[in-house]
Chain A
Amino acid sequence: MKGALVRYLPLLILALAWEAVARLGLVSALALPPLSQVVGAWLDLARDGALLGNALASLYRASAGLALAIVIGAALGIAMARFRPIDALMGPLVELFYPMPKSALIPVTVLWLGFGDGSKILLIFLGCMLPVTLGAFNGARGADAVLVWSARSMGAGRLRVLADVVLPSALPELLNGIRTALALAFILLVSSELIVAQQGLGYLIGYLGASGAYAGMFAVVLTVALLGFAADRAYGALMRRALQWRE
Chain B
Amino acid sequence: MITRLVPIVLLALAWEAFARAGAVTPFMLPRLSDVALRIYADAATGDLAINTGLTLYRALTGFLIAAVAGIALGLAMERNAFARWFFDPLISVGFPMPKIAFLPIVILWLGFFDVTKIAMVVLDAIFPVVTATLAGLAGVERELIWSARNMGASPRALMWQVMLPAALPQIMTGLQVALPLALIVAVVAEMQMGGYGLGGAMMTASRFADSRGVFAGIVEIGMVGLALVKAMAWLRFRLLAWHSETQQQ
Give chain A's interface residues, CB within 8 Å of chain B.
Answer: 6-11, 14, 30-31, 88-93, 95-108, 110-112, 183, 186-187, 189-191, 194-195, 201-202, 205-206, 209, 214, 217-218, 221, 224-226, 228-229, 231-233
Residues of chain B contacted by A101 (CB below 8 angstroms): 180, 183-184, 187, 221-222, 224-225
Residues of chain A contacted by B224 (CB below 8 angstroms): 101
Asked whether, in the complex, the Cβ of B98 is within 8 Å of the Cβ of A92, the reply is no
Q: State how many angstroms separate the Cβ of A228 from the closest Cβ of chain B.
A: 4
- B161 contacts A by Cβ under 8 Å: no
Residues of chain A contacted by B93 (CB below 8 angstroms): 11, 229
Q: State how many angstroms separate the Cβ of B179 from the closest Cβ of chain A.
A: 9
Q: State how many angstroms separate the Cβ of B219 from the closest Cβ of chain A.
A: 9
Q: How far is the CA of A105 from the CA of B100 in the complex (A)?
A: 16
- B152 contacts A by Cβ under 8 Å: no
Q: How far is the CA of A10 from the CA of B8 in the complex (A)?
A: 51
Q: Which of B36-44, B104-112, B167-175 contacts A (4 or more CB under 8 A)?
A: B104-112
Residues of chain B contacted by A93 (CB below 8 angstroms): 7-8, 11
Q: A93-B8, A93-B11, A229-B96 are in contact. Are A110 and B104 (CB under 8 A)?
A: no
Q: Which of B68-76, B84-92, B133-141 contacts A (4 or more CB under 8 A)?
A: B84-92
| Nearest A residue to B217, CB-CB | A104
| Nearest A residue to B29, CB-CB | A112
Bitwise, B201-234 to A at CB < 8 A (1) or not (0) is 0110110000100110110011011101100000
Q: How far is the CA of A189 from the CA of B101 in the complex (A)?
A: 10
Bitwise, B164-201 to A at CB < 8 A (1) or not (0) is 00000000000000001001110110011000001100
- B21 contacts A by Cβ under 8 Å: no
Contact partner, B104, options A103, A194, A226, Cβ 8 Å: A194
Q: State how many angstroms separate the Cβ of B127 from the closest Cβ of chain A.
A: 10
Asked whether, in the complex, the Cβ of B98 is within 8 Å of the Cβ of A183, the reply is yes
Give chain B's interface residues, CB within 8 Å of chain A.
Answer: 3-8, 11, 27-28, 85-90, 93, 96-105, 107-109, 180, 183-185, 187-188, 191-192, 198-199, 202-203, 205-206, 211, 214-215, 217-218, 221-222, 224-226, 228-229
Q: Is the interface of A mostly helix, strand, loop or mixed?
A: helix
| Nearest A residue to B6, CB-CB | A92
Q: Which 3 A-B pairs have the closest CB atoms?
A: A232-B96, A99-B229, A107-B206
Contact partner, A88, options B3, B28, B109, B221, Cβ 8 Å: B3
Asked whether, in the complex, the Cβ of A99 is within 8 Å of the Cβ of B228, the reply is yes
Asked whether, in the complex, the Cβ of A205 is within 8 Å of the Cβ of B215, the reply is no
Q: State how many angstroms separate the Cβ of B160 from the closest Cβ of chain A.
A: 29
Q: State how many angstroms separate the Cβ of B142 from the closest Cβ of chain A.
A: 25
Asked whether, in the complex, the Cβ of A100 is within 8 Å of the Cβ of B226, the reply is yes
Q: State how many angstroms separate the Cβ of A170 from the closest Cβ of chain B.
A: 21
Q: How far is the CA of A205 from the CA of B192 in the complex (A)?
A: 13
Q: How far is the CA of A100 from the CA of B105 in the complex (A)?
A: 27
Asked whether, in the complex, the Cβ of B89 is within 8 Å of the Cβ of A7, the reply is yes
Residues of chain A contacted by B8 (CB below 8 angstroms): 92-93, 96
